[in-house]
Amino acid sequence: MTTDKSASTGGIIMVVGGGISGLTTAIESAEVGYEVLLVEKEPSLGGRVSQLKQYFPKLCPPTCGLEINYRRIKDNPKIKVFTMAEVEEVDGSPGDYTVKIKITPRYVNEKCTACGECEKVCESEISNDYNLGMDKRKAAYLPNNIAFPSRYVMSSSMLEDDKNKVKEACKFDAIDFDMQEKSLEFKVGAIVWATGWTPYDARKISNLGFGMYQNIITNMMLERLAAPNGPTKGEILRPSDSKAPDTIAFAQCAGSRDENHLSYCSYICCMASLKHATYLRGQYPNAKIYIYYIDIRASGRKYENFYKKLKQDENIFFIKGKVAEVSEEESTGNINLVAEDTISGEKVRQNVDMLVLATGMQPNASLDKPNADLQFNSDGFIVNDFKEGGMFAAGCANKPADVITSNQNATGMALKAIQTLVGR
């Protein structure tokens, strides 16, 4: 005997950010039976994880979970997705918010079939953000292989000549350069901020030479280099001469646990570097990998086991010490690094083919503060006030966390949002 047909839907939940946390909050709420508006500022959902080749410690592709999540959205009419959309203003109180969102023109309408004819004829190129600027892409592009929505984007920097060409190439009249920025207003009962994080700008860590020496890259760049849809089609080659690296060093806590940069621990970088060591090992059976760390934060059984496995690799060296200085060997482009081995107390000098900076996460809310009545901690993470309710932060908007923890948190925030609606 089924008693009633649907959950009591006392209002609408808005989720800001369509990365893994926002997707989780949105889908989990909608599957209880609530109406959800999912607002994403990029042209596709997926966020930071869509740039990752694999997750630690399972070494499984994030695409796998995204595919299931996208399917859950497709099967659920209660979720409305807005891409290229940003929250401009929030007014009101728990249970009764008015939210203004701004939609940046995509210059492509819903008629787009993602056939790709525009991309074929477009000659203008733009820096490819998906690959962190390591290569270029056409100014008419599909954000990635499983982009959701599956719809092209026309960059506003496309040359006039190309604009005409792409319009002509589109058989479906889907391209519209007259599209204007749009403002929309919604009444919602609760808002979950899942605005995520940005890799800490490595240029700011002046002693680590990023931006000065080509063969110093960041961990996120390595992620893209290792991905089959990355700038090198998955081959990890060092930038200066596309050479396969024989010796690679990782500098952990590049910016994190450092009062001059990010005072907190970024949670993921230790495990990420261990994962990156597996990428390198997969391609270079004999490469030597040096990991300079303060503590290896392999928290919990699964992570400890992963670390244990890597310790068995004779060519992965763990050195407790912080990289302090770097310079470039001009003739080779190799990196000379100096670190203090905190155990022996001696200075370690090393010449490596490539240095990877394990940069941490900076909350996007600290870079682009939401225009809403929220509390922030001194690092810019959004502090949850469960007593007040109404608005909550999920995932890395709230604290540095790995994907598992983010999703745990994001699932919980779906309930907090629902409580706000039920309680009224």
Partner 1 sequence: MDKKYGVYICTGCGIGDVLDMEDLVEVPDEEGINCTTHPFLCGEEGVKLIQKDVDDDKVNAIVIGACSRRVNFDVFDFKGCVIERVNLREGVVWPHSRETYPKLEEDQKDDEEHFDPIQMKAEDYIKMGMIKVEKINIPEPYKTESFSKKILVLGGGITGISAAIDASKAGFEVTIVEKQDKLGGYLTNMRSQMPVSEPFEDIIPTIIDEKIQELENYSNITIKTNTEVARIAGQPGEFTVTFKKPGERIPWDVPFPLPEEMLVDEKGNELNAEDQHAKYLEYNKGKNDILSLDPDGELYGAVILAAGWRLSKLEGEEFAHLGIDLPDVITNDEFEKIAGNGKIIRPSDGKEAKNVVFVQSPGKDEDDADFDYCGAVTSGVALKHAKYVREDYKDGKAYIIYQHMRTPGLQENFYKSIQQDNGIFLTKGAVTSVTQQGDSLIVDANNTLLGDNLNIKADMVVLANGMVPVTVDDPVINLAYRQGPGFRDNDIFGGYADSNYICFPYETQRTGLYAAGAIRRSMTIEESIEDATGAALKAIQCIESVNRGVAVHPRSGDMTFPDFFFQRCTQCKRCTVECPFGALDDDEKGTPKVNPARCRRCGTCLGACPERIISFADYSIDSIGSQIKAVGVPSEDDYDEPPYRILALVCENDAYPALDMVGMNRVDYSPDVRVIPIRCLGSLNTIWIKDALAQGMDGVIVIGCKKGDDYQCHFVKGSELAEIRVQKIGDALSSLALEEERVRFEEIAIDEYDKLPLLLTSFVEEVEALGPNPFKGF
84-143 residues in contact with partner 1 (CB under 8 A) are 111, 113-116, 142
Residue choice 92, 105, 380, 412 for contact with partner 1 (CB under 8 A): 412
Per DSSP, which regions of 104-234 are E strands?
Answer: 125-127, 136-138, 140-141, 153-154, 182-188, 190-193, 197-199, 216-218
Residues 288-317 that bind partner 1 (CB under 8 A): 295-302, 304, 307-308
Q: Does 48 bind partner 1 (CB under 8 A)?
A: no
Nearer to partner 1, 63 or 247 (CB): 63
Residues 218-257 that bind partner 1 (CB under 8 A): 227-228, 234, 257
Nearer to partner 1, 367 or 383 (CB): 383
Nearest residue to 349 (alpha-carbon basis) of 313, 318, 324, 316 = 324
Q: Does 347 bind partner 1 (CB under 8 A)?
A: no
Interacting residues of 405 by C-beta distance below 8 A, sequence separation 6+:
267
Per DSSP, which regions of 263-334 are E strands?
Answer: 288-293, 316-328
Q: Does 367 bind partner 1 (CB under 8 A)?
A: no
Tell me the window of 5-13, 192-200, 327-335, 348-356 that interacts with partner 1 (CB under 8 A): 5-13
Q: Is 32 exposed, middle or buried (0-12, 13-18, 19+ CB in 10 A)?
A: middle
Provide the minimum distance between the beta carbon of 172 and partner 1 in the complex, in angstroms, as a whole number.
6
Residue choice 2, 180, 242, 286 for contact with partner 1 (CB under 8 A): 2
Provide the minimum distance between the beta carbon of 370 and partner 1 in the complex, in angstroms, as a whole number.
17
Q: How many helical (H) and strand (E) elements, i.e. helices and strands, does the chain have?
A: 9, 23
Question: CB of 7 within 8 A of CB of 33?
Answer: yes
Number of residues that bind partner 1 (CB under 8 A): 94
Provide the minimum distance between the beta carbon of 295 and partner 1 in the complex, in angstroms, as a whole number.
4
Question: Largest alpha-carbon pair distance within the chain?
Answer: 79
Q: Does 368 bind partner 1 (CB under 8 A)?
A: no
- Token digits of residue 120: 């074929």
Q: Does 358 bind partner 1 (CB under 8 A)?
A: no
Residues 318-337 that bind partner 1 (CB under 8 A): 320
Q: Does 171 bind partner 1 (CB under 8 A)?
A: yes
Q: Does 76 bind partner 1 (CB under 8 A)?
A: yes
Report the alpha-carbon distance of residue 192 to residue 198 in Å, rounded.
19
Beta-bridged to residue 361, according to DSSP, are 199
Q: Does 6 bind partner 1 (CB under 8 A)?
A: yes
Residue choice 156, 161, 172, 368 for contact with partner 1 (CB under 8 A): 172
Report the alpha-carbon distance of residue 268 to residue 266 in Å, rounded.
6
β pairing state of 247-254 and 288-293: parallel
Nearer to partner 1, 100 or 121 (CB): 121
